[in-house]
Structure 1
Amino acid sequence: MTVYARVAGGLVAELVEIEAEGPPLAELFHPDFVATMVALPEGSEVAEGWTWDGEAFAPPPPPEPVAPVVPATISRRQMLLALVAGEVITAAEAWEAATVGAVPAAIDAVFAALPDADALAARITFATMIEVERAHPLIGAMIAAELVTEAEADSLFVLAATL
């Protein structure tokens, strides 16, 4: 059995197997079709999607990783679970925040650096928010205070959306 790769635009479009004892390729197909065929070396592992540069076959490059979409909002529960998973707060702090509205120490330290009126508003907002917006100023304050980086905040939101 002889295997041919039909090449279109430098890519293997399909593989065609022809019986070795059968008629020649030129008798089976139209000359234009035959002109697109390249005989594969016996035992080669060429597959559809491989490239052909006129001399050699090569596998396609690996697909580009798809960047996860950062959700615009997450729930408070998701936020607390993600903060624990990201080791920003402890499980005990998350439980206390979930049950009595306490502000975890690392986050409270960020709020403590704000002017008094803003610190109070930040604490109340954090303790009572139902949804957390990625663009919320409290997230910005946590980034500005270097509790998390922009990328870490994005990662926490992506993780939170799965929880």
Structure 2
Amino acid sequence: MRNPHRWTVAALAVSIPAAALIGGCADPRPPTPTKTLVGFVTPDNETICSGHLGGALWGGVPEQPRIGCYRNLSSLPKPSIAGCSMGMGRFGGAASLGPDWVTTGLCASQSPFLDDTASYPRTEVGDVIAIGGGRCAVAAVDTVTCHLGANGFTLSPTVVTPDGRDRTAAG
């Protein structure tokens, strides 16, 4: 007669990606760029990213970043940014990357971009763009993820998420 309390254990081979074993997650940086651009617009035509920046205070940091993205329509709250004076607009739907830092928010009285952004090409979901010494991936029609070295950010209509050394200076 068979013992009803006896358990049989079967071995199961499972393939686990190396990234899951080292640090618990895959490399979040976008893959190798498919295009090299000075600037671009997301497929929904609302987020502009550029490597030619000027005339604005990105995240309260006095240095000009190498990559900056700004979302025209954003439900993100207006941030308090150090150095943002009266008459300057504050925008929560923005992020930037410097040589070794990331910031969120933007303070500007004019366009934060040096180029005529109307000439920037519209991207497609899945595009990976080399820009400003870094790279950006268009993750969805309204979402972009950018990295420069070990720092990065994700910008969507409802969230901006910095990743790395956040130097955003609140005012």
Task: Using structure 2 for the length normalisation, give the TM-score.
Answer: 0.24
Higher strand proportion (structure 1 or 2): 2
Task: Using structure 1 for the length normalisation, give the TM-score.
Answer: 0.24
* Higher Cα radius of gyration: 1
Higher helix proportion (structure 1 or 2): 1
